Amino acid sequence: MDMRTPLKRVRGSGAAGEGTGHFWLQRVTAIANLFLIAFFVVLVISLHDESYETVRAALSHPIVGLVTALCVVVPCIHMRLGMQTIIEDYFHGALKVPLVILNTFFAFLVGAAAVFAILKISLGA
pLDDT reported for residue 18: 66
Q: Is 97 part of a structural domain of the chain?
A: yes
pTM of the model as a whole = 0.80
Into how many domains does the chain fold? 1
- For residues 23 and 38, give the distance between their C-alpha atoms in angstroms, rounded to a whole number: 23
Q: Is 1 part of a structural domain of the chain?
A: no
pLDDT reported for residue 13: 46
Q: Is 8 part of a structural domain of the chain?
A: no
Q: Is 10 part of a structural domain of the chain?
A: no
Per-residue model confidence as pLDDT tens digits over 5-44: 666 666 654 555 567 888 899 999 999 999 999 999 999 9
Task: For the chain, count helices (H), then strands (E).
Answer: 5, 0
CA 109-114-115 angle, 5° bins? 100
Residue 107: count other Cβ atoms within 10 Å of its Cβ: 21
Give the CATH number for residue 37.
1.20.1300.10
pLDDT reported for residue 75: 97
- Domain around 112: 15-122
